[in-house]
Amino acid sequence: MTQMEEQKVIFRDPSVLKQVVGINHEHLKIISNTVGIHLSQRGNEVKIQGEKLEVDLTVRLLEQLEALVEKGYPLYPADIDYAIRLLSENHKVSLEEVFLDTVYISGNRKVISPKSVRQKEYIDAIRTNDIVIAIGPAGTGKTYLAMAMAVSELMKHQVERIILARPAVEAGEKLGFLPGDLVEKVNPYLRPLYDALHDMMHFEKAARLVDRGIIEIAPLAFMRGRTLNNAFVILDEAQNTVPEQMKMFLTRLGFGSKAVITGDITQIDLENGKKSGLVQVQDILKGIPGIAFVYFTEKDVVRHHLVQQIIKAYERMEAKMARSVKDYKNMEKV
């Protein structure tokens, strides 16, 4: 029979305790349900009851959350999920090193910061390299954090403009359309970039910057023939570029510029037979100084907690289908 254990965490500051436990004990409820322990608060103490491993994890969690709040970090319910995941995967990880690395403070005073060790590696890579290529599933923060870094550098006058591009595969991205017609065709495919931008600054300010050309959101085809100096350039959904488009994009980079390329090589929408430029570029640019590759997995998903489970379920299904095809081919050979 498993031995149950009880420990207490005593908080020094009642105002800090209030933020850690959350409104109506919301944060404690998340911890209790996720970790599988019983929590109760009395005065400045939080009592933890459960199995030893879970109790030890919760003690570390509460102590590190207390330290975060003491240093001015505003805790949100989602942060509790991320913190539990971090400490569960690596008991030596420091939440302060990850969460207090503020990338940008948005127009609504929301702090944008990494929520996983891999995200921390990602923003460090962007800071220290001129080209960063981020590959991994949706929901891992690849585009969002790149956007935050871009807006941050623009506000600090480290770059003069931001350019956000996407290949509009479904709209048939080819030159030769009239500009107005093409914009109307591809605008729905650029919408996620607008959504991320508007999450980081007030709509009116973003609109002014777009109108002045300081922020440009455009189909990848619009990058052809240009040299992009003093710019922070993001290529999103890069798995849907063909090799020629990827080469074109990479060779647009001018003096004083950075480029971040993001994509998910398991979600390629190119027509059959066309090779993805994002897949190919891994071999071509590997080992070049100043170019960094960052690989995310489902463990880095920072959307709703069910998204991580959904990704795993699809991976199991795809692996099962691949085995079935292999078994069928082996039967044909017999």
Q: Any idea what the Cα angle at residue 62 is, between residues 61 and 66, rounded to 5°?
A: 120
Tell me the C-alpha distance between 259 and 154, whole Å. 14
Instruction: Look at residue 128 in the predicted model and tell me its pLDDT.
Output: 95
Banded pLDDT at 225 (limits 50, 70, 90): confident
Residue 247 CB neighbour total at 10 angstroms? 15
Query: Cα torsion at 171, 132, 127, 65 (round to 10°)?
Result: 80
Residue 49 burial (CB count, 10 A): 16
Q: Which residues pair with 50 in a beta bridge?
A: 5
For the chain, the average pLDDT equals: 87
Q: What is the distance between the alpha carbons of residues 26 and 77, in angstroms, rounded to a whole number? A: 7
Taking residues 202-220, report their average pLDDT: 90
Residue 241, token pair as written in the block: 């570029």
Q: In angstroms, rounded to a whole number, what is the distance separating the alpha carbons of residues 293 and 118?
A: 12
In this predicted model, what pLDDT tens digit does every residue of 314-330 receive, in sequence order? 878 888 887 777 666 66
* Residue 218, beta-bridge partner list: 165
Tell whether the model's pLDDT for residue 218 goes beyond 60.
yes
Flag whether pLDDT at 95 surpasses 90. yes
Average of per-residue pLDDT across 117-125: 94
pLDDT value, residue 315: 78
Residue with tokens 């956000």: 164
| Long-range contacts at 36-43 (CB < 8 A, ≥ 24 apart) | 41/17
Amino acid identity of 238?
A: A
Beta strands 291-295 and 131-135, pairing class = parallel
Q: Could you tell me which residues come within 8 angstroms of residue 164 by beta carbon, excluding any fewer than 6 positions away?
A: 147, 150, 190, 193, 197, 215, 216, 217, 218, 233, 234, 236
CB atoms within 10 A of CB 332: 7
- What is the model's pLDDT at position 208? 93
Q: Position 181: which residue type?
A: D
Position 265 confidence tier, pLDDT thresholds 50, 70, 90: very high
Consecutive H or E run containing 135? strand 131-135
